[in-house]
């Protein structure tokens, strides 16, 4: 710098307003043809610093730029302000240096002055930013009137869910202090927390058109068949009462959070796991009442999906009413039938094996009736699961009944007949699988008085005990696709695991739970941001699978976490003058990084080198 830096307070008023604003400017004196002048180095904004600390702050900023650590401030708050200002000055003064110089450049460097700092994560952000561009999300948003200065904030909200999921406050801190994302996207005009919240609001306003665009773009990129629609619901819970949110209701929590209000997310994906449409419902939404509404909304956006499509749903949604609606609207269906239909226990002995791989055996029995095919299925894995659940519940159920019975003859234990009946009712509720296998009777006095006492508890296995045991591991698939063979029906049904995988990604890698917002619009925006993030996540995983790489996003993210952006500072000597150089560069891509980038058709150097010098 030609002269010493110092800070001056500037007072300004906007045109047409009497209100004045005060800013702090970092300036320096320079010589010009017209005499000495003040040159603005950086507008520090409306920072709260008392006048007696102006000199200390200016000295600290200059020390950081020139590498004079002995001049750093002992005030941590002041040092934080100075570091932020120094970073902005370096970025302002930096000029791009050629990645590959035609000839080597040799300079005299003071080795003792070399320092590294401003380390920011880059690898995972680089992959997400590339997919964001490939899906042309930015172009769509600009076409919807979103300012180019706001796009980096929107991308930060989405990429933050993929790289370091959390609340908006957490995302803001990550984007500003720990990530190099803004070096990829360009700096937003106002990178404040409030601006981040407003960016989320604007993103939610574009929900319908954005989801339609993403579905169409993914179809074109990967030539998706889109013959199957898989539908399911999940929910997220709120931190706090969320009294201002009309959708926040108490219901059946998938995470057993009965103490919290919930918000329900319905999602439609295709046979390859690509999301087609999402919709938000109150937390007490009943699964079976959502199907018609969400498919009608999807068809309104994508009319071509209404032609010759097969809808796959599980037993919670496959009511007779919903199946009738699918028939009436021309959709094919493969659903999990509630109950065992007309199959008997003897049918479980006449099943044919259609799949027998290591650790998995699948048997089926088919019945065609009234233009539908019913397929009784039994898998070895499900048999073990059902037997384990039933066996554990039955053991605990019987042990508790024995405990209640023994207590009738002991002092201090419950003996009143109404209370004993109530306890057994609660026990049946707690262990439903075991409860339906047993009849339980509470015997009381022959001439009960006002306070009737229980004499004994008697339990016996029901007549259908052995039949229920024979049906363990069985479920029934129902479809109008009678032209399909047994294997094709079952393989289409197991595609439902795609939507379960999508929910698993949303809940684990994308921070779907919990929801911290108390008003409806912000809560909806948080879930929708996770849905957009899922589009990017699934695109990354799909492209890697096409190259034979079946790792999950969580693994890819961990591998790429060591690819970073950093600044190397050092002193060089130029014409008997010491100059402080600040070189911003990417760490060298390691073999694991390069392998991922190659499979995604990305260059191994995400950003060019930049250099700034301070004299």
Is the pLDDT higher at 69 or at 158? 158
Which pLDDT does position 306 carry in this prediction? 60
The secondary structure of residue 399, as a DSSP letter, is H
Q: Which of 32, 130, 125, 47 is CA-nearest to residue 83?
A: 47
Let me know: does 161 contact 533? Beta carbons within 8 Å: yes
> Sorting pLDDT into bands at 50, 70 and 90, what band is 375?
very high
Which residues are bridge partners to 443 per DSSP?
456
Share of the chain above pLDDT 70, in %: 95
Which residues, in sequence order, are CB contacts of 185 under 8 Å at separation 6+? Answer: 129, 151, 152, 155, 156
Which pLDDT does position 55 carry in this prediction? 87
pLDDT at 308 over 60: yes
- Mean pLDDT confidence for 24-31: 86
pLDDT at 102 over 60: no
pLDDT at 251 over 60: yes
For the stretch 602-608, contacts whose Cβ atoms lie closer than 8 Å and that sit 24 or more positions apart, written own/partner, are 602/126, 602/127, 602/130, 605/99, 606/122, 606/123, 606/126, 606/184, 606/563, 606/565, 607/122, 607/180, 607/183, 607/184, 607/565, 608/96, 608/97, 608/99
Share of the chain above pLDDT 90, in %: 50
CA 300, distance to chain mean position in Å, is: 27
CB-CB neighbours of 36 under 10 Å: 9
Which residues, in sequence order, are CB contacts of 587 under 8 Å at separation 6+? Answer: 122, 562, 563, 564, 565, 566
Which pLDDT does position 615 carry in this prediction? 64
pLDDT at 3 over 60: no
Helix (H, G, I), strand (E, B) or coil at 46: coil
Domain architecture of the chain: domains with CATH: 5-93 (no CATH), 109-120+563-614 (no CATH), 123-205 (no CATH), 208-340+473-546 (3.30.420.10), 341-470 (no CATH)
Let me know: does 371 contact 482? Beta carbons within 8 Å: yes
The dihedral built from the CA positions of residue 564, 567, 568 and 573, taken in this order, carries a sign that is: positive
- What H or E segment, with its residue span, contains residue 580? strand 577-586
447-467: b (≥16 Cβ within 10 Å) or e: eeeeeeebbebebeeeeeeee
Which pLDDT does position 60 carry in this prediction? 86
Which pLDDT does position 214 carry in this prediction? 95
CA 372, distance to chain mean position in Å, is: 38
Instruction: Write out pLDDT tens, residues 378-416.
Output: 999 999 999 999 999 999 999 999 999 999 989 999 999
Which pLDDT does position 93 carry in this prediction? 67
- What H or E segment, with its residue span, contains residue 577? strand 577-586
> Sorting pLDDT into bands at 50, 70 and 90, what band is 99?
very low
Which pLDDT does position 555 carry in this prediction? 93
Instruction: Flag whether the pTM goes above 0.95.
Output: no
Which pLDDT does position 398 carry in this prediction? 95
- Mean pLDDT confidence for 530-554: 94
Summary mean pLDDT of the chain: 88
DSSP letters, 459-492, are EEE-TTHHHHHHTTTEEEEEES-TTS-HHHHHHH
Angle (CA) 306 310 314, round 5°:
120
Which pLDDT does position 100 carry in this prediction? 47
Which pLDDT does position 291 carry in this prediction? 84
Let me know: does 565 contact 122? Beta carbons within 8 Å: yes
Tell me the HSE value of 389 on the side-chain side, using a 13 A CA sphere. 12
In Å, what is the CA distance from 96 to each residue of 181, 309, 607?
18, 53, 10
Angle (CA) 150 154 159, round 5°:
140
Q: For residues 565 and 124, what is the distance between their CA atoms, to the nearest angstrom?
A: 12
Instruction: Write out pLDDT tens, residues 327-354.
Output: 988 889 999 998 888 899 999 999 999 9
Cis amide linkage into residue 566, ω under 30° from 0? no
Instruction: Write out pLDDT tens, residues 596-610.
Output: 999 999 999 999 988
Let me know: does 566 contact 116? Beta carbons within 8 Å: yes
> Sorting pLDDT into bands at 50, 70 and 90, what band is 557?
very high
pLDDT at 96 over 80: no
- Mean pLDDT confidence for 80-93: 79
Let me know: does 127 contact 600? Beta carbons within 8 Å: yes
> Sorting pLDDT into bands at 50, 70 and 90, what band is 69?
low
Q: Pick the range with the lowest mean pLDDT from 3-17, 211-225, 516-530, 566-580.
A: 3-17
Is the pLDDT higher at 139 or at 37? 139
Q: Which residue has the tokens 């197991």?
A: 494
Let me know: does 600 contact 130? Beta carbons within 8 Å: yes
Which pLDDT does position 83 carry in this prediction? 83
The secondary structure of residue 238, as a DSSP letter, is B
pLDDT at 95 over 70: no
Highest mean pLDDT (candidates 79-88, 296-305, 523-532): 523-532
pLDDT at 303 over 80: no
pLDDT at 1 over 60: no
Which pLDDT does position 50 carry in this prediction? 87
């Amino acid at each position: 710098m030609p002269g010493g830096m110092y800070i001056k307070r500037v007072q300004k008023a906007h045109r047409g307003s009497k209100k004045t604003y005060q800013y702090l400017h970092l300036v320096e004196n320079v010589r010009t043809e017209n005499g000495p002048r003040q040159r603005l180095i950086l507008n520090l904004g409306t920072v709260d610093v008392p006048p007696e600390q102006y000199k200390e702050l200016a000295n600290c900023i200059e020390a950081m730029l020139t590498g004079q650590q002995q001049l750093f401030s002992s005030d941590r708050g002041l040092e934080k302000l100075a570091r932020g200002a120094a970073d902005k000055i370096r970025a302002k003064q930096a000029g791009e240096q050629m990645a590959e110089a035609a000839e080597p450049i040799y300079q005299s460097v003071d080795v003792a002055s070399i320092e590294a700092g401003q380390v920011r994560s880059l690898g995972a952000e680089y992959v997400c930013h590339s997919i964001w561009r490939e899906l042309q999300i930015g172009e769509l948003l600009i076409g919807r009137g979103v300012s180019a200065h706001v796009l980096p904030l929107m991308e930060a909200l989405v990429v933050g869910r993929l790289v370091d999921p959390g609340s908006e406050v957490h995302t803001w801190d990550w984007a500003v202090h720990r990530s190099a994302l803004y070096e990829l996207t360009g700096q937003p005009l106002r990178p404040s927390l409030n601006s981040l919240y407003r960016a989320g609001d604007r993103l939610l306003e574009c929900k319908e058109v954005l989801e339609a665009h993403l579905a169409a773009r993914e179809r074109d990129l990967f030539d998706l068949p889109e013959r199957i629609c898989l539908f399911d619901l999940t929910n997220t819970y709120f931190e706090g009462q969320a009294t201002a949110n009309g959708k926040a209701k108490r219901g059946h929590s998938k995470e057993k959070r009965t103490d919290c209000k919930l918000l329900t997310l319905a999602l439609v994906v295709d046979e390859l796991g690509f999301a087609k449409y999402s919709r938000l419902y109150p937390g007490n939404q009943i699964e079976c009442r959502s199907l018609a509404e969400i498919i009608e909304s999807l068809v309104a956006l994508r009319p071509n999906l209404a032609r010759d499509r097969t809808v796959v749903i599980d037993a919670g949604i496959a009511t007779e009413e919903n199946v009738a609606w699918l028939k009436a609207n021309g959709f094919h269906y493969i659903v999990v039938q509630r109950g065992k239909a007309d199959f008997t226990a003897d049918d479980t002995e006449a099943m044919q094996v259609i799949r027998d791989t290591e650790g998995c055996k699948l048997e089926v029995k088919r019945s065609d009736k009234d233009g539908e095919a019913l397929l009784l299925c039994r898998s070895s894995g499900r048999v073990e699961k059902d037997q384990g659940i039933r066996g554990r519940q039955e053991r605990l159920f019987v042990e508790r009944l024995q405990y209640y019975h023994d207590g009738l003859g002991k002092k201090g234990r419950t003996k009143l007949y109404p209370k004993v009946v109530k306890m057994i009712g609660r026990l049946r509720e707690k262990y439903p699988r075991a409860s339906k296998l047993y009849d339980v009777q509470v015997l009381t006095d022959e001439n009960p008085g006002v306070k009737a006492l229980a004499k004994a508890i008697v339990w016996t296995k029901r007549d259908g005990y052995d039949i229920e045991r024979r049906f363990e591991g069985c479920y029934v698939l129902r479809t109008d696709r009678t032209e399909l063979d047994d294997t094709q029906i079952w393989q289409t049904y197991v595609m439902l695991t795609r939507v379960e995988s999508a929910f698993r990604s949303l809940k684990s890698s994308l921070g779907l739970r919990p929801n911290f917002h108390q008003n409806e619009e912000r809560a909806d925006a948080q879930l929708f941001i996770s849905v957009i993030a899922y589009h990017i996540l699934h695109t990354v995983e799909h492209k890697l699978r096409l190259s034979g790489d079946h790792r999950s996003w969580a693994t890819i993210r961990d591998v790429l976490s060591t690819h970073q952006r950093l600044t190397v500072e050092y002193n060089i000597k130029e014409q008997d003058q010491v100059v402080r150089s600040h070189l911003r560069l990417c760490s060298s891509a390691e073999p694991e990084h390069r392998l991922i980038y190659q499979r995604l058709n990305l260059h191994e150097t995400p950003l060019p080198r930049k250099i700034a010098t301070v004299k």
